[in-house]
Structure 1
Amino acid sequence: MKINQYNTTPLKAYSENVAKSAAGKAQSQSQSAAPSRDVVNVSAQAKLLGAARQTATESPDTREEKVRELRDQVRAGTYKPDIRKTALNLVREEVDFLS
């Protein structure tokens, strides 16, 4: 039995094709690896929201004196919220939200 009986050119052709395809991939990757710039556009509303969020995080959490005063009024039964003012503020917030 001869081991070298068969021609090795089919294997050689396969290895050449593999090498060519690897070189082609490397070239296409180097072309696509060119630096591309990502662009982010931020709307005016998003900027305003960001500024509001930053202001909220930088401000103190509660106004302790005001909270204590309201708590005492509720406990004493003397807390009388202005229903009209509350309703107007709720409606104004909705109108501002829709605008």
Structure 2
Amino acid sequence: MKINQFNNTPLKTYSESRVTNTTDKAQSQSSTSAPTSDVVNVSSQAKLLGTARQTAANSPDTREQKVNELRDQVRAGTYKPDIRKTAMNLVRDEVDFLR
């Protein structure tokens, strides 16, 4: 048995018919197709999301200033968090979670 003997006829037939089919399709589409337009429908939820993203992108970032102030306080060693307020917020969050 020789491994290097191939029969190329089936491959040629396939490739030739493939070219012929695509040519026929192109010709039939060009002669029978009418100009069409694309239509995009966007849901109200997608519109709302887009508006929210645009508003967030255009709004000034006031939290960045707060973060920078807190970072400077931590680095300087002057940051003194209100432990009672933190504890109350943690308890409130747990109670809300259990509801």
The higher radius of gyration belongs to 1
Could you tell me the TM-score, scaled by structure 2's length? Answer: 0.44
